[in-house]
Structures are given as C-alpha cells and as structure tokens.
Amino acid sequence: MNVGIVSYGAYIPRYRIRVEEIAKVWGANANSIIDGLMVFEKSVPDLDEDTITIAVEAARYAINRANINPEKIGAVYTGSESHPYAVKPSRTVIAEAIGATPDLTVADFEFACKAGTAAIQTCMGMVETGMIELGMAIGSDVSQGAPGDALEYTAAAGGVAYIIGKKDQVANIESTYSYTTDTPDFWRREGMPYPEHGGRFTGEPGYFKHVSSAAEGLMKRMGTKPSDYNYAIFHQPNGKFPTRVAKMLGFTSEQIKPGLVVPRLGNTYSGSCMMGLAATLDIAKAGDRIFMTSFGSGAGSDAFSFTVTDRIDEIRNRAPGVETLLANPIYINYATYARHKGKIKL
Amino acid sequence: MSVPRFWRRIKNLYNLIGTHCEKCGGFFYPPRNMCPKCRRNGIVNPFKFKGAGVVVTYTIVHTAAKDYAKLTPYILAIIKLDEGPSLTSQVICDHSQIHIGMRVKSAFRKLGEESDKGMIYYGTKFVPMEEKA
Amino acid sequence: MRDVAIIGVGCTEFGELWDKSFRELFVEAGVSAIEDANVQGGKIDALYVGNMSGGRFIEQEHLGALIADYSGLASLNVPSTRVEAACASGGLALRQGILAVASGYHDIVVAGGAEKMTDVGVETTTDALAAAADREWEGIMGATFPGLYAMIAKLHMHKYGTTQEQLAAVAVKNHHNGTMNPKAQFQNEISIETVINSLMVADPLRVFDCSPITDGASAVVIAPAEIAKKYCDTPIYVKASAQASGTISLHDRPDITTVDATVAAAKWAYKMAKLKPNDIGFAEVHDCFTIAEICAIEDLGFVKKGEGGPATESGMTAIGGKIPINPSGGLKACGHPVGATGVKQAVEITLQLRGEAGKRQINGAEIGLTHNVGGSGGTAVVHIFGREK
C-alpha cells in the first residue's frame, strides 16, 4: 500500500499502583494474580487527567516528533471506551489543542479495545483515496475496572497517536485485515460506571478466536509467515493472552518482547497494542518488519503488517519513547488510587 | 465560568495563544486587545507562546473553592514565560520539588468541571522542564 | 475644594451575627453615627454605601435604594449610591462621601459600608471573594485569595528572609489589640505557636494568618470643616484622600511583593497632606492576611522594603511602639466584613484621635492613616486624618 505511519507519540501518566496493593484491599493473593495475569503494576491518571488530556499529550508528541504542520491533518479519529462525554466529541478538543482546526473532520470511535486500530484503518482509506493528506489515529483510555473486579488489576491509563500519510513514512503499512463477529464477551451499558464481562468467555470465543483468525487471515492474504517478521504485537489485556496467542500462531517470545509493555503498564485498552507498536518502533531498524493484531471485545481484531523505513532514525528521539514514559513512576496506595479514579464520590 | 465564557477563550487556554504588540514589541498573556503601553497606537495581533518559563512564586493550596476541592493540595504558581509575560497556573510535580526559579513547560490538563453533569474545562498547566510528567 | 471633617462615627459589633440582616446592620451603624454627630435625619444630603458582593452574599443588588429606604430616607428622596471595589469598597465609599462634601455638592453625607457574609456557605463565600481577582485568568486556574497572598508571602520570604514567625507576629499583635476592642470578632490572645501550628490554608499561610469571615457595618458622618464644630467638639479633619489602581492580576504586578497601588496612593496622600511617613502617629492598614500588613507598612513608607517582618517582630507596630498598626485589631482580629472594613478603619482613627478608644487608646495620637486594599492590589485607598486641619 502507499500509506504508512508518518509519526507517532505516546503518553503515560506518571502514577502507578502495584497489584499487591490492590490485592491487599480485597484480601486476594497477589502472587497468584501476578502469575495469572503477568501484570505487576498499572498506570493511574492524575486527578486532572482524562482520555482527552492523555490523547492531546500523545498527539502533540506525534506532531513534534516529525515536525508536522497540524493544519495538514485532515482527520482526527480517536478510539476510546472512556470518552469523558457520552455525547459531545472528545476529538474537537484534541483537534483544537493541536492546532488542526477548522479544516478537518473528526469523530470519536468506540470498539472496546480496538477502536484505535479501527481509527488507523479509517485514516488509511482516506489518505489512500486522496481525501486527506494526513490523518491522525489515536487510542486513549482511562479504562474502568469495578472495585474488586478482576479488571481492576489491569485497567490502566495511557494513549498513543499515529499520523498516517503517504510522504515521509517511518513505517509502511503493507496490508491490513480485520475479522469481526457478534460475540458479546464484554460491555458497558449507557450510564453505567463499570463494564461487565463474560469471565472466561472473553478468552476462547473472544480474544483467541478473533486475534488468531485476523492474524492468520492477514498472513494468508499476504503469503507471509511468523518468521518473516522481526517483531509482533498482540492486544495486551494482560501478559498471558498475547504470550499464548503468539505461541499459538508460531511467533517467538523474542519477537513479542519489545512490544509487551503490559506487565509494567497494565491494559490501556484502546491504547494497548498501539503502545506496544510504539515501544517496538522505538527500537526498530530500517527494514524491520512488524506484525500487529488488536482485539476489541464484542468482538473483532485488526491485523497489520508494517515495514520500517530508514526515516525512523531521524525522528525517533524527537519525542519521549515508551521506555522513558514508563521510567520514574510514582507509586500510590489504594486510597490515593481511588481518589484519582473518582471512586470516592465527593 | 459559563460555557460561552470558556468557549471564547478556548484557543488561549489550550494553546497559550496571547497577543503581541507589533509597535512596541510587548507580549501579553493573558491576551490583551489593547497594548497597555501604546494604547490606541498599538498594533496588537495573536501570538502563540512556546510554553516554556520559570516559576516566579508559588503556593500549595490546601483550601480551595468548590470546583477545585477535588485537586487539593495543589501547587498554584506565577510563571514567567520566556517571551516575557507572567501568568497564573498550576504546576504538576512532587510538592518537595517545586521551587522559585524552577524551569517549567506547558502541559494539557483538565482545569475543572461544572459538576458531574456539566461542561469540562481543559487548558494549560505546567510541568517541570526536565521531566515532562 | 473645601476642607472636610468627620463629625460622627458608628459601628456594629463584628462577628457571626446570625440574628441580624444586612439592612439591619447598616441601619444600626448609620443611626449610631448620626446620633454621634447629633444630626437630624432630614439634614442628610446623600448616602454612600460600600458593599462588595450583596449579589452573591445575600442575592440582593440595588443596595443604595434598600439602605435609603430602611434608613427612613426614601420618603425624603435622599440620593443613595452603592460603591464597589472588592475589599476596598468601604474606603471608596468614604472617599466618595469626602469628595461630595469637598466639592460643595453636598453638605452632610453619610458614608458607610456593610457586608453580610454568613448567610451563605463558606464555599460560596470563598468563591464570591475570589471574584475580586481576575476570574478568567486567575480564578479558573484555581487561584483563591489566600493562594494569591500566599504567593506574595512565599516570594517575600525568598527575597527578604521574612519568616513564619514574623508573619505570625502580625496576628499575635492584632489579636492582642482585639482583646481591648469590645466590638472585635476575636477578643482572645493567641501565641506565635498557635499561628504556626494552625491548619495550612495556602502554604505558608495558615488559618491564623487569615482574616475571618465577618458580618458587620460601619458608618461616618461627613461635613464641611467650617461647620463641623456646630455638631461636635472634636471634629476629625480629612487631611488627604487618595485612591490608586494597580493591575487586577497579581501576575501582572511589576514586583509581586509590592502593592504599587498602595505606593502610589500613599505618595499622593502624603503630598496632599504635606506630611511624610514619619509624621504619621498610627495607622489602620489592610491586613486581610498577615503578609498584607507586612507589605503595607513597607509600601506606606513606615519601614524599608523587606523590613516589615523584623519591624513587626520587634514590637515597633504594637500599641506603645514607634508606629502602632491596627489598634482596632485590624481585619485579622476585629474582623473583615469586606464592604465595612474601609469605613471601620476611619471609625477607629476618629475614636483614637478623639481619645475615646478606651483600653487600646494610643497616647498623644495626632495624625492617623487608613489603608484599604481591593483584591490583591487592584485598588488602594489611603486617607490621612488629623485633630487639626
């Protein structure tokens, strides 16, 4: 394809809570949770951060990293399941804050954890057809987990922005393929503060079925195999699922290692595998091939195949990498976490 | 704040757009539509500030007005932007870290909201220059 | 322009006056001032009412008419004007009254101020007071009034080495003076330890560094100097009335530790009165926060910039010191019903100059100064009064 990633930017709030701290509150065994999820800690937004502020920080890094003229961005699409407004676009705030208004189109996307990759595909189509020169696709979340629920150990905060275009690509998008069915494994009804999930049902018929079908479907279409890729990223609701699906598909643990950010970050939902891709681009070399498959409950997966260009070295260090963003966390206790997440009603 | 009152200032609050007098070279943030020096002879146009500056003075607010009580204790500061003008904003950093003379740069944050049902206000706060939070 | 004198003063008690309404407070202060001046109501030519935020505190505007009506002056159609400059509303109402008489436009004028602050919750009060700062560029960023003054204090400490204890010394002194003022909201002694161990409001200012929320009213009767003796034995003459503006926002101030409006108003007042800071015997200054008194005595020229802290600590500003400051207890101990404060300062000066200040009487007081500030320094009003013209 003629389109690719022109720039990218990530943002992670500085606060973290450890799994032990959450487990202590609910009288759960932290070690078995860590073993089961392969997650040690998760990011927590500051009191004045939300999906929009996180998306703006990521978007500004993406713009700065490649010296993009924001007026050339013709579309901003953001995937999130924690848009601060149920009705009123988040993206207008972002578009305004990056100086891209008024000559552009914006919309909020929602598809559980894969709305961000859906936004990439939408931008690809618009760039490819010449409707726009540059499109920005963002995955950003301050995801919710009910107190005491299994999701509380992983539901994290973070965002990633990708600028999609034809010129000056840092990674060409060779192809993309999606696999979608109506599989209600996880949802949140209008007006409800926390999502509901189908427990183990979210695993086999949800995650594994869709991720593997999309991944296999794309490789079949392209005639590629796991060993053709230097790196692979799969949606990371926890550490275990992507590790297992990688193995099922024939990818090695070395291939997924750079992009497996979930153990120290948690699940950033719409930002999840896009954060893994950013972490991988942070270390990739020209010519490297990267495979990525997202997953959104409900359910669907978007698979992508990328080839890194030599421009990556030129722009990489102009914005903080994922490792930098993960460094120097501030650890908080459950009470502070509850306050940050608005779980204490004033 | 009301919705129109906030909306009118969105470009200023989000992107630190103030004004600049072409005549005397003065920079204004918060924006002024009349140059206090040249007054009617001034030529005042919008100007986007870079967002880098220094903490002139600060306090840690423990008792806040209703809309800000959720954030307490928070750091309130006067920041002198590199281009010249000073403004009032919050600095997001460890309370032991804040000091007069600290270099800071802009960050995008929620300023407040009008209850759970109301409008959310976004705008510019500041973080330490060396490690952008 | 003709010379002007204060011929009567009145003041309610200051405090949380749950059983008194705004209009009752004003009428009480007004009536006692008129009685003190021995003036018949029918002689009053005009009323000036200082008030900051009737709209927020009691949801009542049009306070001039309300006061004229409830003072029994509506039937005489006496003109009544509400004056607003945040916490300097009282000082400004006084100045409007003085100007009206000095100009020859009116002869007998009542200038008063009142604020009823306890009919609403403390959050509404805080928010209403924050409206004295720039709502669009300070308020929306989370600035509170204590927060703004705390930033002044922080920089003052940084530049001049002013200490927590020196700030506290202002509160301790003013509480001591308050013990001798039967109308003061706080009439109890406090110690330095009380202040520095009290709850933090905005670092470095603690609860005891802040003036309280107060209900109260004050009034003075103003007359041309040439007829003043007709009404009272000891008229107190207005030697100077000066008002100056500064930037509304603290961040736009050329020097954050200097209220330049105070410096300008003081300069003009001294010139008008042909006096120097050294000639002032005592003063009532705007100590909405302890740091505000320290800045005030510097900006009024009583001490050099940066020396306000040590001067206070040394006892220079106590009753019996070189220049007693806030013998009434100031805003800190006497209380701070914002619209009334500027007038109450003139009431205190009058009582002192007449020798009627009771236990807190300053011996040999000849010339007194009042200093009233609006917001963080957007408005400053300085008056100088004397026993002689």
Domains of chain A and CATH, by start: 4-170+315-340 (3.40.47.10), 173-312 (3.40.47.10)
Whether C251 is a known active-site residue: answer no
Q: Which residue has the tokens 């950033």?
A: A268
User: Looking at the complex, does the CB of residue B24 fall below 8 Å from at least one CB of chain C?
Assistant: no
Q: What is the predicted pLDDT for the residue at C96? A: 98
For residue C212, give the nearest of C223, C198, C226 by alpha carbon. C198
Structure tokens of A178?
């999606």
Give the pLDDT confidence score for residue C126 in this predicted structure: 87
The minimal CB distance from C251 to the residues B59, B60, B88 is found for B88
Minimal CA separation from A168 to chain B, in Å: 26
Q: What is the pLDDT of residue C1?
A: 87
Instruction: Classify A200 as helix, strand or coil.
Output: helix
C-beta separation of C341 from C113 below 8 A = yes
Instruction: Kindly report the CATH number that applies to the domain delimited by C4-121+214-236.
Output: 3.40.47.10
Helix axes A19-26, A30-37, angle to 10 degrees: 130
Common-topology check for domains C4-121+214-236 and C127-211+238-386? yes
Q: Which candidate from C136, C152, C205 shows the least CB-CB separation from B9?
A: C136
Interchain CB contact of B86 with A (< 8 Å): no
User: Measuring CA to CA, how many Å separate A133 from each of A6, A61, A70, A108, C278?
Assistant: 11, 19, 11, 20, 73
Find chain C residues with C-beta within 8 A of B65's C-beta: 123, 126-127, 130, 139, 142, 144
**Residue C87: active-site member:** yes
Q: Please check the confidence at residue B133 and state whether its pLDDT lies above 70.
A: no
Measured between CB atoms, which of C137, C199, C200 is closest to B30? C137
Over residues C27-68, the pLDDT tens digits come to: 999 999 999 999 998 999 999 999 999 999 999 999 999 999
Q: Which residues contact C197 (CB under 8 A, 6 or more apart)?
A: C206
Measured in whole angstroms, the distance separating CA A212 from the mean position of its chain's CA atoms is 18
**What are the start-end ranges of the H helices in A4-68?**
19-26, 30-37, 51-65
CB C4 within 8 A of CB C102: yes
Q: How far apart are CA C158 and CA A172, in angstroms?
A: 55
Q: Is C250 on the interface with B (CB under 8 A)?
A: yes
Q: What residues does A165 pair with on adjacent strands?
A: A4, A134
B54-111 per-position pLDDT tens digit: 999 999 999 988 888 889 999 999 999 999 999 999 999 999 999 999 999 999 999 9
Q: Are C15 and C181 a contacting pair, CB within 8 Å?
A: no
Burial of B42 (0-12, 13-18, 19+ CB in 10 A): buried
Active-site residue (options: C106, C175, C286, C336): C336
Helix (H) or strand (E) holding C284: strand C282-284
Instruction: Tell me the sheet residues that pair with A106.
Output: A76
Which CA distances in Å does A345 have to A141, A338, B77, B116? 21, 10, 28, 10
CB atoms within 10 A of CB A229: 20
C43-57 burial code (b ≥16 CB/10 A, e <16): ebbbbbbbbbbbebb
Residue A346, pLDDT score: 66
- Predicted local distance difference test score (pLDDT) of residue A237: 96
Write out chain A residues lying below 8 Å of B12, CB-based.
Answer: none
Please check the confidence at residue B2 and state whether its pLDDT lies above 90.
Answer: no
Q: What CATH class does B51-133 carry? A: mainly beta
Task: Provide the 3-class DSSP secondary structure of residue A129.
Answer: coil
> Hey, what are C375's tokens?
């917001």
What local confidence, expressed as pLDDT, does residue A224 receive?
98
Q: What are the start-end ranges of the E strands in C98-138?
A: 109-115
Topology of the domain comprising C127-211+238-386? Peroxisomal Thiolase; Chain A, domain 1 (3.40.47)
Domain boundaries, chain C: 4-121+214-236, 127-211+238-386
Cβ separation C142–B100 shorter than 8 A? no
Q: In this complex, which of B15, B90, B132 lies closest to A97 when CB atoms are compared?
A: B15
**Residue stretches of chain A with pLDDT short of 70:** 346
Give the containing element (helix H, strand E) for C265.
Answer: helix C260-273
* Strand pairing class (B27-28; B17-21): antiparallel
Q: What are the residues facing B108 on neighbouring strands?
A: B124
The residue with tokens 């400059």 is C85
Distance CA C167, CA C153 (A): 9
How far apart are alpha carbons C150 and C155 in whole angstroms? 9
CA neighbours within 13 Å on the CB side: how many for C32? Answer: 15
Active site residues of A: 81, 113, 235
Bridge partner list, A155 = A267
Cβ atoms C170, C293 nearer than 8 A: yes
| E strands present in chain A | 4-11, 15-18, 41-44, 73-79, 105-109, 134-142, 157-165, 171-183, 186-187, 196-197, 231-234, 289-293, 298-308, 330-331
Q: How far apart are CA C299 and CA C296, in angstroms?
A: 5
B122, A346: Cβ pair inside 8 Å?
Answer: no
The single-letter code of the amino acid at A179 is Y
- In degrees to the nearest 10, what's the CA dihedral of C73, C76, C77, C81? -30
Q: What is the pLDDT of residues C110-144, one digit of tens each?
A: 999 999 999 999 888 988 999 999 999 999 999 99
Chains in contact with C, where contact requires at least 3 CB pairs less than 8 Å apart:
B
Q: Which residues of chain C have pLDDT under 70?
A: none
Per-residue model confidence (pLDDT) at position B132: 43
Show which of residues 43-82 on chain B sit within 8 Å of chain A, judged by CB atoms: 69-71
pLDDT above 90 covers a percentage of chain B that reads: 84
Average pLDDT score over residue span B27-52 = 96
Residue tagged 């999502």 (tokens):
A195
Q: Identify the closest residue of chain B to A88 by CA–CA distance.
A: B119
Cα A89 from Cα A109, distance rounded (Å): 10
